[in-house]
Amino acid sequence: MEEGRRHTDPGELMIRIRNLHKSFGENEVLKGVDLDVYNKENMVVLGRSGSGKSVLIKIICGLLYQDSGAVTVLGKDVIHLNDRELRELRLQVGFSFQNSALYDSMTVKENLAFPLVRHRRHLTRKEQNHEIESVLDDVGLLQTLNQMPAELSGGQRKRIGVARTLILRPRIMLYDEPTSGLDPITSMEINNLINLVRHKFNTTSIIITHDLTCAKITGDRVAMLFEGKFIKQGTFAEVFSSSDERIHNFYNYNFIESR
């Protein structure tokens, strides 16, 4: 078993999805998706680009709403939450965007201070600085404190994006293509960071990716999304020992795309 990985015994159910459907016009993206994610589990959702992976996690945190089906997060039925309840839930669900979503006009320190000022107003300036420096140290980038995002590499921007999400201490992390556009060495650093975050912050995570290395290193379980449905769920070995031709084709596609 890779470093940072663990076998997950079913325990507290953190995310429950049943018969989830979502269309955009005539394009049916999700066609009856079921998924359970348990406490402190890293669940990887694999699928080709455009398969609906990102739509799924946007529905989980209420950025999009389903057409039908049920999504329960931390015991809350997301679609029925009012604005205040949804804001409260989002404080417990961190979303690490594919493009890191940093404010280019702010320093790293100011980017990390932004969510604290909005949501942790009771903190003193000294306490804010401590939180910022602590989470930057956790992602190995304390030295970037006063840098601008434009001065950072792609991998550093990804790490800062994760740090800004972690600073509010969410219970759930949603990673959208965390290794996209990164070289193999930097991708490995991000994979190890995902495992470190789970170990240090006791997070439950969904990792959206088409990167097989990311899936193998970070995932306790893997769910393969194909044409709007999950066609196989299990450990990485269980999924890719399947005789399903669609899974074998995805394996081959992944390595062709990564050349």
41-75 pLDDT, tens digit per residue, is 999 999 887 788 999 999 999 999 999 999 999 99
pLDDT at 186: 93
CA distance 215 to 44: 6
Which whole-number Å values give the CA distances from 45 to 72, 91, 130, in the listed order? 17, 23, 35
Q: What is the pLDDT of residue 4?
A: 41
Bridging pattern class, strands 229-234 and 76-77: unpaired
Q: What is the pLDDT of residue 49?
A: 78
* Per-residue pLDDT, 10: 58
**How far is Cα 87 from Cα 83, in angstroms, rounded to an integer?**
6
CA gap 50, 244 in Å, rounded: 21
- Our measurement of the distance from residue 226's CA atom to the centroid of its chain's CA atoms, rounded to an integer in Å, reads 19
Indicate the SS3 state at residue 143: helix
Q: What is the pLDDT of residue 120?
A: 86
- For residues 34 and 225, what is the distance between their CA atoms, to the nearest angstrom? 11
CA distances, 126 to each of 113, 120, 121, 180, 231 (Å):
12, 13, 12, 36, 50
pLDDT of residue 7: 46
Report in angstroms the alpha-carbon separations of 146 from 119, 126, 221, 227, 251: 22, 16, 38, 44, 42
Which residues of the chain fall below pLDDT 70? 1-10, 253-259
- Over residues 138-173, the pLDDT tens digits come to 999 999 999 999 999 999 999 999 999 999 999 999
pLDDT, position 28: 94
Domains of the chain: 13-92+170-257 (3.40.50.300), 100-169 (no CATH)
Distance in angstroms (rounded) separating the CA atoms of residues 171 and 14: 9
d(CA 118, CA 133): 18
